[in-house]
Amino acid sequence: MIRFVVVITLVALTAGLLTGALRRYAMARSLIDVPNARSSHTIPTPRGGGVAIVLSFLTAIVLLALQGGVGDLLAFAIVGAGALIALVGFIDDHRHIAARWRLLAHFVAAVWILAWFGGMPSFDWFGRSVQLGIWGPVLGAIYLVWLLNLYNFMDGIDGIASVEAITVCLGGALLYIVIGRADEAIVPLTLAAAVAGFLYWNFPPARIFMGDAGSGFLGIVLGILSLQATQASPALFWCWLILLGVFIVDATWTLLRRLCRGERVYEAHRSHAYQHASRYFGGHLPVTVAVCAINVLWLLPVALCVGTGLLDGVVGIVIAYAPLLLAAVVLRAGEREFQVG
């Protein structure tokens, strides 16, 4: 136990130091996000700091796998898919990559993951274990690619993507401990530590942004961890969807609204619920703190009820998502920027 505490402490410190170095690199290379009409920030800020999360976390996973602390299949899935997504994001942060090529890379990563997992794991449906059969790989790939992209969409204000990853990972780790699978908590705790080191620089007001390399990487790794949890216990799939509820509901509802208006969904915009909220409350900090509070005080208790069998997974999703959807509607997620007053 003491050794693992030392490991995650070193991961957090490494990520923090690397982020500082990447900030200097970004400023020297003029890798700066300059605010425009579709930005949620007002001050030019370096980007690409998410690479620190990638390097510190993947290094830790390799070392843990060599020592037997992480299974080989999980390690290969994380390192292979994570490195690919981070590389594509890193290139896109430096020079634009067409959306179709990014999407192709995303599906390649998803196929890689499902190959190491042996397909889409079974999940719990009102007490029954459900196998998706031939549809499993298709739906699994769509799920992973959507989670990856929605995480990119939701990384739009200071600290929000970092706080989401940390609280979701800590919640997932707690679920493992509660159901008696504490050994499985190693990977989410390690990822939380890596993101915490980056958050030191990204907390509002941010001194560096995550960039596509970091947000895409977090999205795909969180997808992998949700599948790992499903293998441990089919009910845990619903738990991870509940923990990710803020991002899933906001991004999905916003996408559907924009599709209905015939807009190009891959273009940058400021119509997510969290973006409207940041303008309404006059800053990023209140929204980022609110997301943290919702995750800890609302979504985590519901996920624990599902994980311990007190609630069915589908019922838990409905209970968890209902107020989030109401908030998205009230905040006019998916609508063009509106004026308050």
State the binding site for Mg(2+). 152, 212
Tally: H helices and E strands in the chain: 14, 4
Beta bridge partners of 32: 46
The answer to whether 201 touches 254, Cβ cutoff 8 Å, is no
* DSSP H or E stretch at residue 33: strand 32-33
CB-neighbour burial class of residue 27 (10 A; exposed 0-12, middle 13-18, buried 19+): middle
Residues 6+ apart with CB under 8 A from 110: 81, 140, 141, 144, 145, 220
The binding site comprises: 152, 212
| Contact of 40 with 275, CB cutoff 8 Å | yes
SS3 state at 123? strand
Report the amino acid identity of residue 215.
Answer: S
Report phi then psi at 46, rounded to 5.
Answer: -60, 150
334, 293, 283, 307: which is closest to 226 by C-alpha?
Answer: 307
Measured from the Cβ of residue 182, the count of other Cβ atoms closer than 10 Å reads 12
* Residue showing tokens 């989401």: 164
